Each structure stands twice: as structure tokens, then as C-alpha cells.
Chain A
């Protein structure tokens, strides 16, 4: 009996730990969602409802912060709701925005489908809807004003254009290895497409190996190791669909005995902090920005729409490209 009691006690302690863990994460999200109101009100103060996907990555967190602060900084009133990756939360949030008669709804859909009904309700109530970062798969495009998000194809083109400039005047073949993102994901497909589109104009650019690294450091390193073993010194350029894989691959290149950034040029996408650290250390050449900080641009669009301007259905986020020599200077300013 005593033994049973002991083990039950142990279990209780363990479950308590789990519950506590759950609590602390919940309170964190709770904090994030209390961003209502505030800011000096100007003449045409708008009430804007914003339904975010969740907080699954640094990128997303930076995105949330940017949109929230852009709205309040512009003097508008913010109603924020975190969907925590659940569509029903998001539909509920949009319905409550409609009931509160907000002036505009911003949302990043959790999934592409299933929003017809609630968007129709918004349209009937005369509330304009702005899609941020993610699109919906609905035929009737009158249900939303515009979709503001990154253009992954353009990111691929930018990467290839940088390479074309860098390699101008170099005779002979340039052997490129490519680390693709997760098979079938939109960024992987589009970044590949954009890169290949530009490559077609440069017949001496050759992709000699291309493989998926699942957007992770560990896989990026493992795949790069295999590439190096089979191609070795032939590799001139690494094009990685995100920075994390590039960081893993840089380790593989160093362990193989080559100098990343010199012997093998390294191109990444996303412009996360780790990429700036690698570039500042001279191990990475360039990263194409995939910008989550489009809050101000979004607020401009909402204000333009309120002023009666007509907007394009698809607007790309303003994004730039960062090279090695800018890295050291910009590193302290990177937010994500």
C-alpha cells in the first residue's frame, strides 16, 4: 500500500509539473493578446480587428508585433485575437469583429479554405477584409480588398539576380547546389521557380544537385555533407531556400575543409538574425529578405482604402536583399 501511495504521489507531482508548464505558456499568450486601444486619436481614427494565425515561429511573432504596433502607432484602435492555429477560433474572432462593427478586418488565415461564409457576413456588414501573409482559396475575390504578402517567386529571382551580378564576367560553368525547403510547401516551390526563371537566361549556371533539407539546420547539414562527398570542390555556389538550412550547410562546408563564402558562395532566404551573424563572420554571402515587418505598409493600405482608393488584389511586401558587407552594421538592429 505504502508503495502504491508513493508512486501515486510521484505521478501527481509529475502531472503538476505538466499543468504548471501549460499554465505558463497560456499566460504568455494571454499577455500577447492584451494589446487593445491606446494611442493618441487623430481625426479619422479607425477600429481595426486583427486575427493572427498563432505564435508558431520567431517570424510570426515579429509579424504580429509589427502589425500591432503599426496600427496603434498610427492612432487607430486595435482589437487583437490570436487564433492559436485553430480555424474555429479565427471564425469566432471575425464574427465578433463584425458584431463590434469594426472599420476593417486584418487576418492571416490558418488554412486556405472554409472562410466563405464568415467573409460574406463581413461583406454584407460592409467591413473591408485585408489578408496578411497568407491567402485564401476562394473564387469570389470581392470578399477581400487585397492580399498583402511576400512574393516567394520574386525572392527566388532576387537570389538568382544577385548571383548573376556576382558572377558577371566569370567564364565557364558555375556549379550550383540547391537545398530545397519541405517538399510541396509554397515557399519551396516558388523560390525554386523564381531562381530557375532567371537561371534560364544564364546558360553557364548549372544546378548539379538539388535535394530537400526540410527547412531545418540538421537536414541542411546532412544533405550538404552528402553533396560535398559526391561533388566536392566542383561546387561553386550553394542556394538554400532558407537561412537555417544554409547555416547547417556552412558547418558542413567548414568541416569538409573549404571556406564558406569564399570557396563556395552561400545564398540564403529569410534574413533571420543567424544569417546576419554568419555574414558578419564572412561565412555567408547574401540573404534575400522575407519580411514579416509589413505592419506600416498594411496600415497605409487600410488608410488608402478608407480614403476611397482602389487597391490591387495582390500586393507584394517591400523586401530587400542583404549582403555580407552590410551585415556587421545591421546585425544589432535585427529584430528576429
Chain B
């Protein structure tokens, strides 16, 4: 169990949730209210849904030694696109046609954004951080253009189901996350795709020589990341029934990268841990909710977050754990001759 990559992230998540237990005993209370499951735990999953989705996409991108800085802007673009297509559909309009047109338009734009990133990286050969930086800046501009730089309110009722609706007492966004996660897990575990992604991340040239179409694999992960961000954007804008080109998904790219790193995936590419990223995203969201509910003054929010992130990252480092957490095993090692101590370290790491 200790050897599992997921052990430390899960431990941190449990600790964060446990802190709430002392401050607010009602924190873990989950009850059915008006046919909806409510409670802080439900809120964490519900509010964390967009970040979890984006982290899933980001994990695969990072596994190919890439990075996608454009996801936050894609979130804004997706919401803006949906709001624009729905346009003046009124609250009284109950037909579902505008809903599906809006979803198709928003996801279409997100896929196009992912395709753009993928083409720049895989076909033109621009470094991922530079290529996706373009969309990070330009995408927010496009989103503002779509919404005319204003916060567009959506009065059309069915739209708010995506991010605010409930199916069988559970928030609908949870199903979306589960579906996307299931697809990602299936594609990477049950097909060769997961292996291809790891292989391309470790060495794209060698993978190409081995017969893997590296370029298309890279293109695919960026398109998938765009799709995840698009769904995230729909959830986010639907939840507040409005599109905000300026602020929707602001800094999400950084939160997603953080979630991936907390989850144990290395930024150097290669092996990746989808479940780790999901837990990483849950840690970030639990931390945010905890800060709100235990009443930490807003001025110190970022400091608290920073401290927790540092602790998680230190715990993730096996070198740090070896040096600090187990001083007893280290001492006797020192007395022994050089050779055997080396052997010991290799085993532990």
C-alpha cells in the first residue's frame, strides 16, 4: 500500500477532510433535500467537476512531455459559445433543440482549439509551452469577442441542467466526470493507446522508429484536452447560467497542472496516473471549500494553499520521505560500508 503512487495524495485528501471534522462536525453530513443529495462532500465533487475534467485531459498531454496552457481560455470560449448560440431563447422555451445546438457549438469550438494546439505542436514542431501560450492569450480574447466583453446571462432553463441539474439525486456534472474518466481509463488501460502515450512521452523519436505514429498520438491528446476543457466550460457556465469571457476558467491551467503533479505524474513525460490527477484535483477543491467553511481570512487564502501544496509535493518526493520521515533507517546505514548503503538506497527508491 505504501508503495502505491496514490497513497500519499489520498492521505493528504483524508487529512484535509479530517480537519473539517474538528471545526465543523456537520461537514460530513450528506442528506437528501428536495430530491437532491446535498452536503459539503457533494459540493466538493460538484464544484470540482470542471477541474477534474481538465486535469484528466492535462494528464495525457503531460504524459507526452507536453503541456496545455490553453485550457483555461478554452473553458471561457466554450461557455461563451454556448451562451451566444442560445442567445435570446427565453425561459419559457422548453424545447431541447437550442440546448443541443449550444452543446455542439461549444464542444466543436473546443475541439477546434485542441486541434489548433495539437497541429502547432505535432506538425509545426513548436514547443508545447509556447504553442499553447498562444491560445491562452488569444482564447480569452476570442471568448470576450463572442460575449462582447460582457457577462451574458442565459435565461433558457434546460441549459442549467448540465452544471446545476440532478439525475437520481446526484449532480449531473458528476456523471459527466465519470463518463469522461471511464473513457480515458478504458482507452489507456484496455487499448494500446496508454502504452503509445507513455512511449511517445519517453522518447518520441524511438517510438516513431518502432512504428508508432507519434505525431497523431500527440495531436490526439491535445484534442482530448480541448474536449475536456470544453465540457468543463459548459459545466461552469451552466452552473451560474451565464458566460463570463473575462473570468471563467481563469488560472485553471495552473490548477490543472498542479493537480496532475500532486497526482504523481512527472512533467518529464512517460508514466501517468489518471486517478492520481483526479485525487489531486479533489485535494485542490477540498482545500478551497475548507478555506471557505472554516473561515480563514481571505488575505491568507493563498498562503494556506501554498503551504498545503508544498507539503503535498514534499510528501510525493521519495527522496524527501527517506531523509526526513525515516531518520532511524538512515543512521545505521551510515556506519556500514559504502557499497551496501548504495544497494539499500536503490531498493528503497
Contact = CB atoms under 8 A, between A and B. Distances in A.
B52 to A, nearest CB: 15
Contact of B119 (A11, A58, A210, A277): A11
B183 to A, nearest CB: 26
Contact of B247 (A58, A211, A214, A221): A214
Interface residues of B, number: 45
Interface string B75-96: 0000000000000000000000
A21 interface: yes
Contacts of B153: 274, 277
Contacts of B240: 217-218, 221, 247-248, 251
Contact of A21 (B145, B242, B248, B297): B145
Given A217-B240, A230-B293, A11 B38 contact: no
A218 B248 contact: yes
Interface stretch (B39-47, B201-209, B272-280): B39-47
Which of A24, A56, A215, A251: most chain B Cβ within 10 A? A251
B43 A14 contact: no
A3 to B, nearest CB: 9
Contacts, number: 100
A6 to B, nearest CB: 10
Nearest to B240: A217
Nearest to A214: B247
B239 interface: yes
B123 interface: yes
A244 B34 contact: no
B236 A218 contact: yes
Interface in A187-219: 209-212, 214-218
B123 A226 contact: no
A230 B289 CA distance: 11
A191 B319 CA distance: 49
Contacts of B301: 183, 212
B116 interface: yes
A25 interface: yes
B contacts with A: majority SS: helix
B123 A7 contact: yes
Nearest to B166: A255
Contacts of B1: none
A183 B40 CA distance: 25
Interface in B154-174: 164
B292 interface: yes
A223 B301 CA distance: 13
B90 to A, nearest CB: 13
B163 to A, nearest CB: 10
Given A57-B149, A214-B247, A229-B26, A222 B299 contact: no
Contacts of A14: 112, 116, 119
A248 B34 CA distance: 20
B145 A24 contact: yes
Interface string A280-310: 0000000000000000000000000000000
B39 A58 contact: no
B157 to A, nearest CB: 13
Interface in B239-282: 239-242, 244, 247-248
14 contacts: A18-B138, A21-B142, A180-B298, A183-B301, A210-B297, A211-B298, A217-B244, A218-B236, A218-B248, A226-B43, A229-B43, A230-B294, A251-B241, A257-B34
Given A212-B301, A256-B33, A274-B153, 13 more contacts: A11-B120, A58-B149, A183-B298, A209-B295, A210-B295, A211-B292, A216-B247, A226-B40, A227-B293, A229-B40, A230-B40, A244-B151, A247-B242
